[in-house]
Each structure stands twice: as structure tokens, then as C-alpha cells.
Amino acid sequence: MRGQAVSEQGTTTELAEMAELLKLLGDPIRLSILALLQEQELSVTDLTRLTGATQPNTSQHLRKLRSAGLIRETKRGQWVYYSLNLQDYPDLRIFLSQLPGRESRREQLSQLA
């Protein structure tokens, strides 16, 4: 009986972690950021322009995504670039590839250069 309680506790913990991830993905701006980063690495300035959010708001969303381990940052000179970090979430990569508006995002990204 004791082994079953440990197993149930492990499942409860995993479900709680999944619920937190789903809450994180429930915000349209964060979901948009992840979708954009699936296409290419971007700076805060790029993400602010593409999402229409303010710079402080974009930075706040990036902080939450980084804290969850879904994105990583790379500093180049004075600029910080963000990219996806989904090796622990292979299903999330599939989910993001199915989001509507992929062609529109690619069009927006092509106009950044």
C-alpha cells in the first residue's frame, strides 16, 4: 500500500507541473512568443514589435518563459536574443507547429530584416 501512495504522489506532482505549464501557455502573448521563436531567434525589440505588446510587458513574459525553461537567452554584444529550449518538451514543439497563423508569422518575420 505504501508503494501505491508514493506512486500517486509522483503522479500528483507531475500533474501539478503539467497544470503550471498549461497555465503558462494559456496567455496569448506568451503563446505568440513561443510560436515566433519556433521560426527563429529574436530580440526583445523584435518580439515587442511583432506581438504589439509593450517592452516591459514582453520582458515580463520572457522572464516567465525563461523561468519555466522553455526559452534560453544568448547575449551578443549589447543585444540579448531568445530561442526555444524544448528538448524536455518534444510534444510542445509539435503543438506549436500546429498553431494557426504560421504563414502570417513567417511573413512578419521576413519584414524584420
Residue 31's SS3 state is: helix
pTM: 0.85
Over 90: is that where the pLDDT of 5 sits? no
Q: CATH no. for residue 43?
A: 1.10.10.10
Q: Report DSSP state, residue 70.
A: S
Give the pLDDT of residue 41. 96
Torsion (CA) 51, 57, 58, 59 in degrees, nearest 10: 170
- The domain of 19 spans 2-110
Give the pLDDT band of residue 8 (cuts 50, 70, 90).
Answer: low
Q: What is the tens place of the pLDDT at every residue in 15-74?
A: 898 899 999 999 999 999 999 999 999 999 999 999 999 999 999 999 999 999 999 999
Backbone angles phi, psi at 83, to 5 degrees: -145, 165
> Could you count the other beta carbons within 10 Å of the beta carbon of residue 113?
4
Over 50: is that where the pLDDT of 1 sits? no
Q: What is the tens place of the pLDDT at every residue in 81-102?
A: 999 999 988 889 899 989 999 9
Give the pLDDT of residue 9. 64
CA distance 63 to 86: 16
How many domains, in total, are found in the chain?
Answer: 1
